[in-house]
């Protein structure tokens, strides 16, 4: 007896119907089409992910289900690993083609995709993967990359022809899902940005119609950036929006002559997003080790006490502690704070970036592997090509949070101190402690390190590796492989 045939569209980090090339091709295929999302237990257990990510995904899927109801279809959501699920599905259906986007993910998803490709070849299933957000697979250098990225961003948005689609209806989807555990992602009240297309468009529209006016002045400010930055990063990371549609809407804003400086600055950061993911696509080992191999011999002994204090926001440096508590509570801090907390960990505490990579990934609602590990490498100084920055959190607090508004918001034990002492509580005098009813060292911890000393130690160690013959050789290799020709 012949089995009925079908095609599959596999949602990953592209949780949208609009400008989704892989989905558009699946819809246009003419075959019976099943839309699928797999909550893979291996990913649930992976230390990069936390409940805030699964909540965001669930909200995105609920949003998609509402959109799809008008087409009399839905997404089958099951908790299962990919190959076991498709093995069972193949008993009832002849799977002709699986459509998805290329995923530039952590080692776990990379290994899964390699195994899944082998499975598809052995089963005679066609697996068609499509480029995502201007990132090219198989590229060995950056020749022509900017031109290709610009051309990709200017292409018309992909439009699905749902009137031509042959979609599984809800009853068929329920039957296929029989026997499988549903994703069961809980619906919880939380203080994070809400997932889904509707929420994404609200942020995009409010940014391009008014918030962008403060973009350049707010981008480095701990508190002002929470409103002045776009806050689109989680919607790009999980695919509620494509970079191309954001780019084209930004161009429309630019063409109308509004906020020229701000639109140029934000447009460059859209390209940076793809640029960093392209680096990770080309050299995924940076998840585990220094991209510049000269730093592999650098000794950074693990200090569990330092790491714990850093994670808990108890380092004794108010801006660092406020940033760490803020990202834990809200899932977001701006770029400067992200760079600063990594610099503090890797330079002042002299811990390997891997000691903080999983913890930060679990906090960032917008966790995107390529950006995450590219930034960790750069801020740790492990590229050997970028300017080596060892951030001074006190100097940054004075410059960007002079009234200690951000510090006091997230480190409430400093709330009653005047701004200068909230920024540098170690300068408080005994009489002031009595006046402000504050005991330094008890109400707020003393500094775990002296950054005047740790800065010199870090710079000496890093420059020793960087200026070695091997470090210079690696620098040339990295520039050739990863840098834009015009910027070399």
Tokens of 275: 């640029």
Cα 383 to Cα 318: distance, rounded to the nearest angstrom:
29
Domain membership of residue 110 (yes or no) is: yes
Nearest to 106 by CA among 288, 365, 366, 238: 288
Helices (H), 332-483: 335-343, 354-363, 369-380, 393-400, 405-410, 419-423, 430-435, 451-466, 469-482
Which pLDDT score, from 0 to 100, does residue 424 have? 98
236 plus 307 within the same structural domain: no
Domain end among 132, 158, 188: 132
25 plus 127 within the same structural domain: yes
CATH number, domain containing residue 447? 1.10.579.10
Tokens of 12: 């990953």
What confidence tens digit (pLDDT) does each residue in 452-465 have? 999 999 999 999 99
Nearest to 191 by CA among 2, 387, 363: 363
Domain membership of residue 119 (yes or no) is: yes
Sign of CA dihedral 218, 223, 225, 226: negative
352 plus 482 within the same structural domain: yes
333 plus 392 within the same structural domain: yes
Domain membership of residue 342 (yes or no) is: yes
Helices (H), 331-392: 335-343, 354-363, 369-380
The count of domains in the chain is: 3
Which pLDDT score, from 0 to 100, does residue 252 have? 86
Q: Degrees (nearest 5) of the Cα angle 324, 374, 286?
A: 110
Cα 338 to Cα 175: distance, rounded to the nearest angstrom:
46
207 plus 229 within the same structural domain: yes
Which pLDDT score, from 0 to 100, does residue 162 have? 87
Structural domain range at position 105: 5-132
367 plus 461 within the same structural domain: yes
Lowest mean pLDDT among 247-261, 388-402, 437-451, 466-480: 247-261
What confidence tens digit (pLDDT) does each residue in 94-153 have? 999 999 999 999 999 999 999 999 999 999 999 999 999 989 998 888 999 999 999 999
Domain membership of residue 97 (yes or no) is: yes
Domain end among 132, 161, 178: 132
For the chain, the residue count is 488
For the segment 395-407, the average pLDDT, to the nearest whole number, is 98
Cα 399 to Cα 224: distance, rounded to the nearest angstrom:
13
236 plus 364 within the same structural domain: no
Q: Per DSSP, what are the bridge partners of residue 38?
A: 78
Instruction: Name the percent of the chain in helix, strand, coil, to the closest 5.
Output: 55, 10, 35
pTM: 0.96
Domain membership of residue 166 (yes or no) is: no
> Up-side HSE of residue 403: CA atoms within 13 Å toward CB?
5
Domain membership of residue 356 (yes or no) is: yes
Domain membership of residue 80 (yes or no) is: yes
Task: Say whether pLDDT at 488 is over 60.
Answer: no
Q: Which long-range contacts (CB under 8 A, 24 or more apart) does 352-359 make?
A: 352/300, 352/302, 352/380, 353/377, 353/379, 353/380, 353/382, 354/288, 355/302, 355/307, 356/307, 356/310, 356/311, 357/48, 357/287, 358/47, 358/48, 359/311
Nearest to 348 by CA among 296, 387, 390: 390
243 plus 322 within the same structural domain: no
277 plus 292 within the same structural domain: no
Between β-strands 126-130 and 32-39, what pairing exists: parallel, antiparallel or unpaired?
Answer: unpaired
CATH number, domain containing residue 233? 1.25.40.80
- Confidence category of residue 187, pLDDT binned at 50, 70, 90: low
80 plus 220 within the same structural domain: no
Tell me the C-alpha to C-alpha distance, in Å, between residue 269 and each of 236, 247, 382: 12, 10, 22
CB atoms within 10 A of CB 283: 16
Domain end among 98, 132, 166: 132
292 plus 269 within the same structural domain: no
409 plus 360 within the same structural domain: yes
Domain membership of residue 393 (yes or no) is: yes
What confidence tens digit (pLDDT) does each residue in 6-63 have? 999 999 999 999 999 999 999 999 899 999 999 999 999 999 999 999 999 999 999 9
CATH number, domain containing residue 95? 3.40.50.620
């Amino acid at each position: 007896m012949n089995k009925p045939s079908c095609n599959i569209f596999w949602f990953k980090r592209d949780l949208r119907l609009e400008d989704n090339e892989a989905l558009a091709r699946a819809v246009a295929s003419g075959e019976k089409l099943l839309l699928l999302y797999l909550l893979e237990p291996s990913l649930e257990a992976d230390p990069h992910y936390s409940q805030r990510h699964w909540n965001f995904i669930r909200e995105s899927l609920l949003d998609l289900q509402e959109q799809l109801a008008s087409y009399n279809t839905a997404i089958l959501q099951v908790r299962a690993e990919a190959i076991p699920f498709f093995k069972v599905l193949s008993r009832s259906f002849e799977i002709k083609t699986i459509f998805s986007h290329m995923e530039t993910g952590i080692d776990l998803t990379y290994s899964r995709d390699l195994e899944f490709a082998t499975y598809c070849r052995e089963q005679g299933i066609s697996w068609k993967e499509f480029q995502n957000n201007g990132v090219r697979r198989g590229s060995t250098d950056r020749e022509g990359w900017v031109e290709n990225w610009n051309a990709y961003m200017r292409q018309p948005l992909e439009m699905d022809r749902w009137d031509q689609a042959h979609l599984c209806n809800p009853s068929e989807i329920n039957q296929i899902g029989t026997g499988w555990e549903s994703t069961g992602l809980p619906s919880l009240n939380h203080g994070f940005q809400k997932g889904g297309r509707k929420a994404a468009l609200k942020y995009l529209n409010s940014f391009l119609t008014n918030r962008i006016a403060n973009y350049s002045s707010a981008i480095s400010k701990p508190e002002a950036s929470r409103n002045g930055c776009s806050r689109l990063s989680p919607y790009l990371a999980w695919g509620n929006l494509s970079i191309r549609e954001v780019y084209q809407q930004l161009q429309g804003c630019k063409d109308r002559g509004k906020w020229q400086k701000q639109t140029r600055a934000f447009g460059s950061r859209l390209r940076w997003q793809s640029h960093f993911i392209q680096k990770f696509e080309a050299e995924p080992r940076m998840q585990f080790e220094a991209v510049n191999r000269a730093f592999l011999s650098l000794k950074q002994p693990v200090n569990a006490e330092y790491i714990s204090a850093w994670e808990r926001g108890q380092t004794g440096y108010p801006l660092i502690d406020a940033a760490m508590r803020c990202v834990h509570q809200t899932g977001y801090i701006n770029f400067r704070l992200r760079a600063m907390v990594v610099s503090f960990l890797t330079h002042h505490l002299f811990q390997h970036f891997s000691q903080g990579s999983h913890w930060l990934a679990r906090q960032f609602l917008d966790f995107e592997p390529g950006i995450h590990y590219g930034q960790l490498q750069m801020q740790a100084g492990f590229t050997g090509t970028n300017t080596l920055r060892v951030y001074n959190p006190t100097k940054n607090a004075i410059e960007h949070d002079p009234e200690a508004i951000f510090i006091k918001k997230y480190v409430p034990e400093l709330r009653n101190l005047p701004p200068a002492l909230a920024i540098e509580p170690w300068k408080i005098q005994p009489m002031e402690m009595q006046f402000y009813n504050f005991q330094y060292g008890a109400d707020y911890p003393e500094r775990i390190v002296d950054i005047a000393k740790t800065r010199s130690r870090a710079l000496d160690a890093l420059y020793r590796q960087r200026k070695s013959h091997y470090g210079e050789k690696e620098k040339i290799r990295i520039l050739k492989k990863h840098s834009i020709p015009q910027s070399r």
